[in-house]
A and B are shown apart, each in its own frame.
Chain A
Amino acid sequence: MNNMLTIAAKELLLLRRDPGGLLVLFLMPAVLVLIITMVQKNVMELTGEQQARLLFIDESKSEFGQSLTKIFADDDSFVLFPRESSERDQALAEVKEGEYTACVIVSKGIDQTLTKKLAALFAGNADESGSQGTSAAFSVSFDPALLPAFRGGVIGKLKVAAAQVEMKKKINHLEAELTKKMEEAGMPPEAIAGEAVALGGLADQLVEVREEEDSDEQDRPGVVQQNVPAWALFGMFFTVLPLGGALLRERRSGVWDRFLSMPLSPMSVLMGKVTAYSLVCLLQFALIGGIGYKVFPMLGLPAFSIAGAEIEIFVTVVAVSLAACGYGLLLGMICSSFEQVSMFGSISIVISAAIGGIMVPVYAMPEKLQQLSVVSPLNWGLTSFHDVLIRDTSLWRLDSGVLFLILFSAVCITLSWRLAAGGR
């Protein structure tokens, strides 16, 4: 135990005297989590929350155009910039340059085409009223750099707006036809008015789609609750590089030979290193969690919170630290050059992060990669964080990521010890 603590204290002293190494260990993940979270929040907003800047050209000067203008103006998802027909080319150029999200052009004669189609519909002329008839459309041009998901969102909202206008027009037409038919049947118009169902209300949406929310708004999984642990995890696994490098340096400098010639167990040397670097991992998580808690709200992002799950989070962070340190030891024991440690270490962590869902959620990956994600230690860590922070499920079960992380660290540390005890 004494030897282990002596080794741990020495490792921390060496780290303190290595400003470059400290920058890699603490500044890199801190900057990473700040930038990636802000970028991802923006991307997520782009797919549903951010306002679209719409240029609107009503060439039809019709009731349809006016109704559409009113719907867009009332919808918080859009900021409308009306333009004249004569400005069409310039408007399209501005959209192409990315100054506006899209340009909606309601073509001349849309009202007449729609009226004609409705008349055909009520006359029972399917060919004229359906898609084979003259088209009644308005066109949309998008900023070419727009994400497909955002494009799809805007198109969806435009379709709903068009359907609303179209429905109102159909109901008006139905009301007129009904009045005409009843008059023809000898019923006085007053009777119709008295008995009339409020047909105009038919266009109103009666069924509402409501998203179920947790009782506490703070508990809703957001980009911050997902990103802070994900990138903290990524940073913690990068301790593999200084730890593996330090061990390799000892092996190459003869210090390891000195250890082997001393009356101490190689396991105590390895566990001393694990103790020191696990402490570094805990500090990394505290720093990144602290940024999520204190700095994010200043930047307009929600605050990161582990309230109510402190013990589970601590256990998860310790399990991740042990796994990262175990892997670092193994690399330090297997590799024979610093290039191997840095190249193999960083590439394997980036691959493990990529297939583990750190960069892109696992559900968004191709099926084969999704199957592969179960072998990634970073996925085990991320799943454990999500279990605690988002899904509110227990860590204490057999398929828990924490258990896999501890097993992984045990295998790595045992292999490292076997290699270390085997001598040169």
Chain B
Amino acid sequence: MDTLLLTRLFVGLAALFCLAGLAWRLQAFLALPYKPEQAPPKGRVIPGLLYAFTMAMAPWSKESTRRHLLAYVRGILFHIGIFTSLALLPLSLFPGQLGNFRLLLAVPIGLGALGGWAGFGQRLVGERERALSTPDDFAAVALVSLFMTVAFATLLNDAWLAAFYTVSALMLIYLPFSKMRHFLYFFFSRFFFGIRYSRRGAIGWSSTHLEG
């Protein structure tokens, strides 16, 4: 069996393992109680929730991101790179048909990889970030950055395909156990944030103004 086929099989099985692991995490999470607030809301809930998922994440909306615009941009590029690299996995099954699409994919993936390695460096040298981080935090960001780096290399030269599948598989196997799984909880976290503060009329489009 040739190496490329073996690695494709490996990443396929890894993806199934990853999905099973995430499904296990999700079902454990959904088995927990959800206790919605009973108090009558003061603010407008649906507009507030929409705001929580959209403009609340704009860089000017929060003091933390206004202060750390570079980190914000780095984080955005990092995550766009991740999703683009994940999209490359199925697309890479048809390398001959990528054509000029390669450049379109290479830009976000390359920037994502740069963002990832920059973030790894920041976590290593920043006193506060280092103190807050566990070994898993370093491993997760390094593995994801490596994933994007190899994805970028693959777009330049198909000879990297086997390496791309191997790194992808390792990442997908590790994902349900590591900090990387935090994406699973992101939407729930934004929902709980949005519902709490929109009920109070404390964020964005949720507020109802007192006249005068």
User: A and B bound?
Assistant: no
Task: Name A's B-contacting residues (CB within 8 A).
Answer: none
Task: Name B's A-contacting residues (CB within 8 A).
Answer: none
